[in-house]
Structure 1
Amino acid sequence: MVHYLYLVRHGEQVDAEHGLPDGPLSGRGIRQAEAIAERLGGVPFTAAWTSPLQRAQETARIMTERMPAIEPEPTALLMDCIPAGPTPDMPHAFEPFYGSVTPEEIAAGEAQMADAVAEWMRPSRDDRHELLITHNFVISWFVREAFGAPTWRWMGLNQAHCGLTIIRVRSAKPPVLVTHNDLGHLPAELRTGLPENQPF
């Protein structure tokens, strides 16, 4: 059976550079969502899931307007979060990231992503093409999970706004990363969201 996860980071948010925790898509974010919708228009999706945050829900609405067979369903499992805390084997260069992160945030993120992996990265008895519209760190965690990498390896993986990552889930073998942060559908002026000076 075929089971594919299509992971899409939300489009650019209005005034995201001013530190607003959530908000509507910018004009550029709307264009990004329209472009990824056109890119995926021929995929026979069986379900669509979205983070409940506004920027993700708006991206999901724009995308699924062109996919009348599916309706995006909000789920807290795709919320923006800190997927895991520091570990003894984590390089010291990553430590500053955790300076303002609380133990409660880490525990909540770890529990959320354990449930998300259990929900979507399990083999299916039927052919499935599932669309997940979510956030940078969440997608990073799914990619790390696909490789079975150490928990800290989600750090340093980044996805542009409306970049496309595809994972194939298999029953008898490890998952396969088909593509990561594919931006082929976005012209240069719509490629936003990657940090210019990455702290990692």
Structure 2
Amino acid sequence: MTAPRTRRLHLVRHGAADAFGTLTDTGRRQSELLGARLAGLPIDTVRHSPLSRAARCAQILAAHLPGAALHEAPELVDHVPHVPPEPPPGWAGFFDGYDAAEAADGAIRAAALTGRFARAPGADTHEVLVTHSYPIAWLVRHALDAPPDRWLGLNPGNASLTVIEYRPGTAPTLVLYNDMGHLPPELRWTGFGGGPHP
């Protein structure tokens, strides 16, 4: 009996960036370390958001993956995938100012993201998707078949690794979430708010 075809998405939040969206020295170092970790895998393709911080991170990763094709994917751009009709009180300020048109645009972008990437393959693939916190949160929520509002609070760190596997005829498998084992302690948890982290 042959094993089912598997699509493995290696989801990466770009390395730490400055206020202008440029990778910092920390972000470049994080990306190098993640590239070294991924180098042991049979990666087919590296796709990245159009935004510069993700594109630069993807270039660094691809340098460690000489057999992988590098492509931009507009579906990976940073966006708010879902605006709750009644945001939880702790999130009300975050959504203040979002109108119906912006919410509809986010929903269209979220559908494009899952439509392209959250599905079983025609062949075995290992893809790296370099994107942003919110698209990763949305793909994780989708894989777990959780209610739409559950993307809130899923906040992967810079250069963290999340892996989801898709196979025909079965639910997706969340293999890893927010794994930062390739980073030394001083490079972990960037991209988060203040407070202690394990």
1:100 corresponds in structure 2 to 97
Task: Tell me which moved more, 105-114 or 146-155.
Answer: 105-114
Quick check: 1:36–1:185 contact (8 Å CA) kept in 2? yes
Pairing 1:154–2:162 present: no
Residue 175 of structure 2 aligns to a residue in which SS? strand
1:3 corresponds in structure 2 to 7
2:142 corresponds in structure 1 to 145
Residue 108 of structure 2 aligns to a residue in which SS? helix
Query: 4+ residue runs of structure 1 moved beyond 4 angstroms?
Result: none
Aligned pairs for 1:63-142 (under 5 A) are 63-88=61-86, 91-142=88-139
Quick check: 1:37–1:63 contact (8 Å CA) kept in 2? yes
Aligned pairs for 1:19-98 (under 5 A) are 20=20, 23-88=21-86, 91-98=88-95
**TM-superposed deviation, 1:75:** 1.6
Residue 165 of structure 1 aligns to a residue in which SS? strand
**TM-superposed deviation, 1:91:** 3.2
Residue 180 of structure 1 aligns to a residue in which SS? strand
Q: Say how many residue pairs are matched.
A: 190
Task: Tell me which moved more, 67-76 or 30-39.
Answer: 67-76
Quick check: 1:86–1:95 contact (8 Å CA) kept in 2? no
Quick check: 2:7–2:166 contact (8 Å CA) kept in 1? yes
Equivalent-residue separation in structure 1 for 2:48 and 2:41 (angstroms): 17
Gaps of 5+ in 2: none
1:168 is matched by which residue type in structure 2? E
Q: Output one character per residue of 1:34-92: Cα deviation in whole Å (capped at 9) or x when no partner.
A: 0100111011112211001000000000000111112321121000000011135x533
Quick check: 2:10–2:162 contact (8 Å CA) kept in 1? yes
Quick check: 2:44–2:69 contact (8 Å CA) kept in 1? no
Equivalent-residue separation in structure 2 for 1:188 and 1:140 (angstroms): 23
Gaps of 5+ in 1: none
Identity %: 38
1:42 is matched by which residue type in structure 2? G
Q: TM-score, normalised by structure 2?
A: 0.91
Residue 96 of structure 2 aligns to a residue in which SS? helix
Task: Tell me which moved more, 63-72 or 28-37.
Answer: 63-72
Equivalent-residue separation in structure 2 for 1:54 and 1:6 (angstroms): 19
